[in-house]
Chains A and B, each alone.
Chain A
Amino acid sequence: GAVVSQHPSWVICKSGTSVKIECRSLDFQATTMFWYRQFPKQSLMLMATSNEGSKATYEQGVEKDKFLINHASLTLSTLTVTSAHPEDSSFYICSARDGGQGVFGANVLTFGAGSRLTVL
């Protein structure tokens, strides 16, 4: 089936540094990428939607200057948490929509394995 490779799976960083999370679609064209975050014992909350080659659309309350999303190719999208602080510690997960002509179709969203960010 469709696979989205998400890296790193976990990262610990110091407050004030920036962290980049990558999601790669391995066998399909991810025309749309959705980014979620999940705080402990909470559900997944949509942060932003990005379409390849376009600027991302952010959900209300999500700072676009803090969470930089790049979706420059059909197989790679990145989320950069800039000047991270302890309150940004969370589980970040991407979800890709197949927009190509492949067998997986646009019906199903494929999730990455998630990235756990801990900011000290």
Chain B
Amino acid sequence: KQEVTQIPAALSVPEGENLVLNCSFTDSAIYNLQWFRQDPGKGLTSLLLIQSSQREQTSGRLNASLDKSSGRSTLYIAASQPGDSATYLCAVRHQAGTALIFGKGTTLSVSS
């Protein structure tokens, strides 16, 4: 059964720092991997989606990498801002018709 682990569980940084969030998954036979942002009490905002054949995706200050063989993904946030404070969730899919399996998330706090 696929398990998704995210480290660290929580992270506090001062504004302007670059940071890396880690995600690992036990079954490397994935279809794609997706990073989401969730604000307190709110739904999900999709940040980046990486297909199994891809190595990385970039959007603005965000860069996500995927090493499928080792079962790892990282989300890099450059020049962090207080508005980046949220919980970041990593999720994987096995096949096109299957559900996303989520990690427990990393709660990020960026102080000004």
Query: Which of A's residues lie within 8 Å of B, judged by CB?
Result: 32, 34, 36, 42-46, 49, 91, 93, 95, 97, 106-109, 111-114, 116
Contact = CB atoms under 8 A, between A and B. Distances in A.
Contacts, number: 47
Contact of B99 (A42, A46, A106): A46
Contact of B43 (A106, A108, A112): A112
A3 to B, nearest CB: 12
B100 A34 contact: yes
A106 B97 contact: yes
A32 B97 contact: yes
B104 A114 contact: no
A46 B96 CA distance: 16
Interface string B94-112: 0011011111110000000
9 contacts: A43-B103, A44-B91, A49-B99, A93-B44, A95-B99, A111-B43, A114-B43, A114-B44, A116-B41
